[in-house]
């Protein structure tokens, strides 16, 4: 049986079709933002509504719709769910060992100020993890560490999502940008330069914006020099690396330089007032327990190992060795009930072609495996009894069970949206806006991440469409392509997948609606900033983008 996507299924009207098939998205926003529904319930109900919608509107075969949903759910659990289980397990082990108290003390040695601690963990350290791992691990680990430092769980989740914005187009090891290059045929270094130009400016803003989200403007101004050092320390190497070296290293190198610059700066500069949480007891240097260098190194060892393992796991040579030589992966070339069934149609493709449907999990080279390997090694380094470690793992899975349901449901929705044609219908509706498409271009990327949870997937969905539309409107295609990427990173703040990861990491499973209600306003503010940047590049500073 073959079924061809029909993007204007209702009266041959793309706008009418887009409005109707967007009902599941409207429902999800309403359920989280207004009804304050638990994340896993909202996700499952949205998925059910989407199934009914695509079957009725597109006449998608029932078996194909169910199969696409199941494929998405499996991808939600492996690799995404695998990552969050391993990340939270590693953090829980450090807490169980008692070593996290030493980690907290060492971070306090950089600064007792909670704002600067947030810059170190949520911005600098998280950016490094995004550069080498991505897929939710940076947010999960950063948010969990902030909880350990005493941050409010909700606040930890929100600021970790906000701070994670700049490195995303180039993490892990440039995957989203490389994907955009593959779908558009434009050299990845050229796209890297275009996206890097926009994100360089944003990377200066984000540390400041993160602190504003955390403590408000007045208290942000008090540590503005530190925020600028972190942002500029990231932005300068980021700009030159994206311009001259391509997409693989910007997030990794820039985050390390930013962290070193911030640490050095706080040696010679201190805020006039030290910010602590309400009701937090102020401690003097005499009350704080002193730890030796050996104790500090030992306590931090899981994270040193993590950085080392992640760096190796992120190298192309390691991935090629595992996948091509060892062939350690699980692969299903034709997913049952879906492979060879769904066909894309014009104008998404020039002529009808099969929409490939397969499943592949690179289980050994996956970021989750790197995290789990680090956790296993840490069991021995931290001298945790095997029985205790098994108990901690069981507690971790139990802690995350509702988050895993949420992740599975939203990935099921994402794959259903793709294979039914829903995502393409929405994209084509934006194309209908004509000359003002330049404004909607970043919104399309933003929407793509909301639907799929991934900047890489957003690039795969809408990259070619952005290119073709720009050429039709006689615009520089790099303008809309980079707008898609930069707008997409702002969608990470409201992606149900990202929110589920953050909620699971901080123990707020079932309360994803509380995170969403906060992040949606910040996401809208940031995507509005992207639109302004795009308009400036289009009409005032067109020379800032390469010409192709």
For the chain, give the percent of residues with pLDDT over 70.
99
Does the pLDDT value for residue 118 go beyond 90?
yes
State pTM to two decimals: 0.86
pLDDT at 376 over 50: yes
pLDDT in tens, 247-277: 988 998 999 999 999 999 999 999 999 999 8
- Report how far residue 401's alpha carbon sits from residue 224's, in angstroms, rounded to the nearest whole number: 40
Q: pLDDT tens digit string along 308-360? A: 887 788 788 998 999 999 999 999 999 999 999 999 999 988 899 999 999 99
How far, in Å, CA of 19 to CA of 374, rounded? 47
Is the sign of the CA dihedral 494, 495, 498, 501 positive or negative?
Answer: positive
Per residue in 212-223, pLDDT (tens digit) is 999 999 999 999
**Alpha-helix runs per DSSP H in 314-421:** 316-320, 367-381, 386-420
For residues 21, 23, 26 and 27, what is the CA-based torsion angle, rounded to 10 degrees? Answer: -140
CA distance linking residue 330 with residue 370, whole number of Å: 17
Count helices and strands in the chain by DSSP H and E runs:
25, 5
**Percent with pLDDT over 90 in the chain:** 71
């Amino acid at each position: 049986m073959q079924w061809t996507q029909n993007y204007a299924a209702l009266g041959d009207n793309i706008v009418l079709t887009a409005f109707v098939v967007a009902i599941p998205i409207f429902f999800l926003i309403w359920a989280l933002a207004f009804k304050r529904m638990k994340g896993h319930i909202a996700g499952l109900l949205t998925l059910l509504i989407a199934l009914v919608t695509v079957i009725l509107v597109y006449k998608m075969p029932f078996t194909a719709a169910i199969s696409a949903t199941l494929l998405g759910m499996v991808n939600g659990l492996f690799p995404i769910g695998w990552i969050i289980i391993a990340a939270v397990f590693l953090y829980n082990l450090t807490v169980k060992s008692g070593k996290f108290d030493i980690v907290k003390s060492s971070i306090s040695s950089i600064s007792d100020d909670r704002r600067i601690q947030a810059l170190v963990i949520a911005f600098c350290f998280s950016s490094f993890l995004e550069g080498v791992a991505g897929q939710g691990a940076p947010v999960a680990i950063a948010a969990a560490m902030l909880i350990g430092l005493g941050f409010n769980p909700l606040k930890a989740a929100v600021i970790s999502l906000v701070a994670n914005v700049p490195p995303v187009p180039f993490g892990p090891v440039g995957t989203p940008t490389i994907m955009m290059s593959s779908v558009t045929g434009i050299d990845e270094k050229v796209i890297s330069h275009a996206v890097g130009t926009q994100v360089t400016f944003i990377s200066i803003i984000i540390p400041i914006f993160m602190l504003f989200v955390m403590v408000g403007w007045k208290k942000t101004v008090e540590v503005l020099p530190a925020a600028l050092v972190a942002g500029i320390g990231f932005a300068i190497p980021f700009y030159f690396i994206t311009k001259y070296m391509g997409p693989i290293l910007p997030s990794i190198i820039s985050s390390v330089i930013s962290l070193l610059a911030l640490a050095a700066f706080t040696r010679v500069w201190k805020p006039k007032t030290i910010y602590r949480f309400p009701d937090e007891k102020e401690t003097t240097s005499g009350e704080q327990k002193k730890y030796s260098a050996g104790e500090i190194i030992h306590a931090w060892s899981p994270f040193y190992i993590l950085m080392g393992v992640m760096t190796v796991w992120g190298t192309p040579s390691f991935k090629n060795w595992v996948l091509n030589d060892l062939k350690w992966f699980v692969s299903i070339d034709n997913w049952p009930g879906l492979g060879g069934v769904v066909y894309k149609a014009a104008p998404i493709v020039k002529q009808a072609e099969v929409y490939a449907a397969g499943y592949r999990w690179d289980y050994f080279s996956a970021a989750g495996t790197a995290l789990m390997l680090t956790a296993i090694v840490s069991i021995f380094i931290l001298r945790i009894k095997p029985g205790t470690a098994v108990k901690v793992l069981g507690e971790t899975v139990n802690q995350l069970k509702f988050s895993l349901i949420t992740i599975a449901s939203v990935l099921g929705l994402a794959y259903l949206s793709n294979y039914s044609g829903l995502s393409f219908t929405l994209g084509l509706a934006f194309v209908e806006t004509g000359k003002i498409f330049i404004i909607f271009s970043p919104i399309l990327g933003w929407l793509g991440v909301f639907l799929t949870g991934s900047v890489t997937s957003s690039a795969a969905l809408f990259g070619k469409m952005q290119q073709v539309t720009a050429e039709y409107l006689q615009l520089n295609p790099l303008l809309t392509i980079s707008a898609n990427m930069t707008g997409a990173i702002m969608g990470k703040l409201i992606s149900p997948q990202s929110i589920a990861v953050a909620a699971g990491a901080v123990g707020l499973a079932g309360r994803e609606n509380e995170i969403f209600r906060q992040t949606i306003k910040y996401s809208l503010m940031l995507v509005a900033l992207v639109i302004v940047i795009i308009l400036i590049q289009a009409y005032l500073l067109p020379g800032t983008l390469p010409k192709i």
